[in-house]
Structure 1
Amino acid sequence: MAEFNLVFGNRNYSSWSLRGWLMCKIAGIEFDETLIRLYAPETKAEIARYSTSGLLPALIHKGLTIWDSLAIAEYLHELYPAAGLWPEAQAARAVARSVSAEMHSGFPDLRREMPMNIRGSFPGHGRTPEVMTQVQRIVAIWLDCRKRFAGSAARDDGFLFGPFTAADAIFAPVVTRFRTYAVSLDEEAKTYCDNVMRYPAMAEWVDAAKHEPWLVEQYEFR
């Protein structure tokens, strides 16, 4: 049994679970996985066994339960400050936290109209004016972070702040949405999305999501 246990929902649909799982991967910890099937009759009771908040993901460590992906990122950063969850430079770290918080609390139309469905392919679905305005803002964040901070990092692996950080984990589900719904992007944004999808931990999650047996009909658009 590992020291940590991450409790999370369906890989194919649960964007916050993906974020929390990536945080653990960036931190480099060994952790057990407890997968709870969402949108099933037993879901609420199963989650309550691990998370009194009723929220996933939840990281359990030495009797302590930490829920919410950003809280998990901060907890792991405190435990392993050299792991690279946040950028080394103070200014970059501040902006990384700012854009992560913006993604965490914002973009409601994108979330509603283009829910995460890694296996799905629904070109054109959900392209309301409000969604496309939010897409433009997300792309602007990506390009600004790359321009201002990636080049000055100790190494530039093609992510927002050079190496893959918690900020990239926060935006990773958006990358899958852009692919599922065939959102048109400029070349720089496409390259960033390709880099995220090739990140080893991301590729591992996506492969597992594609082999999940469950369908959530409300997120399957035909």
Structure 2
Amino acid sequence: MQLVVGTLSTWSLRAFICARLVNIQPDLILIDLEKPGYKAEVLKYSPTGLVPALLVDDFVVCDSLAIVEYFNECSDGALYPREQSERAQARSLCMEMHSGFVSLRSRCPFTFEKIEPLADFNGVIQEDIERIKVIFAQAKGPFMFDKAGAVDAFFAILAFRLDIYGICLDGKAGDYQRSLLDWPLLKNTVASARHWSS
């Protein structure tokens, strides 16, 4: 099994964290997304031309959500809560992260570099942040549900992005953001990914 990842690809990081959560250790194929002509390199592995992609025997799983679902099936459902309603909520939150917060992601590109704190919030970015506060405040504890899962992997990268831009949430939302930032798995993933980009 091989996981195709890209430099500064937040979706690659999410898939990577989920693999680690369920003790799956695919070989990594690293692609420098800042290198001219990177698309042709990605297309060697991923028919969509996007990362991440998971190469399994004679088939390819494209897109982080599909990869996470595959890892979940490989691990007897370990990436989602056991209780049906919580499982549905977790999937809903992952999908909202996957398709949402476009303005915030556009205004705050992912980076490992030190950034001046973001002081200029337009209305749409503020709406994104307010929605994130509502979501983060729902966390039961250090993780969204009873144990670390896919939803925490998805939001840990968001928590890191917010922190890079000096966006520190308060109250219960802040508690969850800080717990994700302190999560050893996120710290180890960030340390590994810094080397991907070096």
TM-score (norm 1): 0.83
Call closer, same or farther: CA 1:126–1:61 in 2, change over 3 Å.
farther
Q: Is 2:80 the counterpart of 1:86?
A: yes
User: Gaps spanning 5+ residues in structure 1: where?
Assistant: 151-155, 215-222
Structure 1, residues 39-60: CA drift from partner, whole Å, max 9, x if none? 2113111101110110100111
SS in 2 for 1:112: helix
Q: Is 2:134 the counterpart of 1:140?
A: yes
2:174 partner letter = K
Structure 1, residues 148-185: CA drift from partner, whole Å, max 9, x if none? xx3xxxxx5x1111211111111122111111111141
Q: Shift in Å at residue 113 of structure 1?
A: 0.3
CA distance in 2, matches of 1:200, 1:39: 28
C-alpha contact (below 8 Å) 1:197/1:203 kept by paired residues: yes
CA distance in 1, matches of 2:184, 2:2: 21
CA distance in 2, matches of 1:120, 1:68: 29
SS in 2 for 1:179: helix
CA distance in 2, matches of 1:165, 1:134: 23
C-alpha contact (below 8 Å) 1:118/1:176 kept by paired residues: no
- Report the equivalent of 1:175: 159
Structure 1, residues 96-148: CA drift from partner, whole Å, max 9, x if none? 0111111111111011001211333220155222111111101101212x2xx
SS in 2 for 1:120: coil
CA distance in 2, matches of 1:164, 1:122: 31
Call closer, same or farther: CA 1:213–1:169 in 2, change over 3 Å.
closer
1:120 is matched with which residue: 107, 114, 118? 114
Structure 1, residues 77-106: CA drift from partner, whole Å, max 9, x if none? 122124x21111111000001111111111
- Report the equivalent of 1:206: 190
CA distance in 2, matches of 1:163, 1:80: 15
C-alpha contact (below 8 Å) 1:121/1:181 kept by paired residues: yes
Q: Is 2:55 the counterpart of 1:55?
A: no
- Report the equivalent of 1:16: 11
C-alpha contact (below 8 Å) 1:143/1:188 kept by paired residues: yes
2:186 partner letter = M
Call closer, same or farther: CA 1:194–1:101 in 2, change over 3 Å.
same
C-alpha contact (below 8 Å) 1:119/1:210 kept by paired residues: no
Structure 1, residues 18-55: CA drift from partner, whole Å, max 9, x if none? 11111211221121111100021131111011101101
- Report the equivalent of 2:100: 106
1:90 partner letter = Q
Q: Shift in Å at residue 212 of structure 1?
A: 4.9
- Report the equivalent of 1:189: 173
User: Gaps spanning 5+ residues in structure 2: where?
Assistant: none
- Report the equivalent of 1:218: none
Call closer, same or farther: CA 1:99–1:121 in 2, change over 3 Å.
same
SS in 2 for 1:50: coil
CA distance in 1, matches of 2:130, 2:42: 35
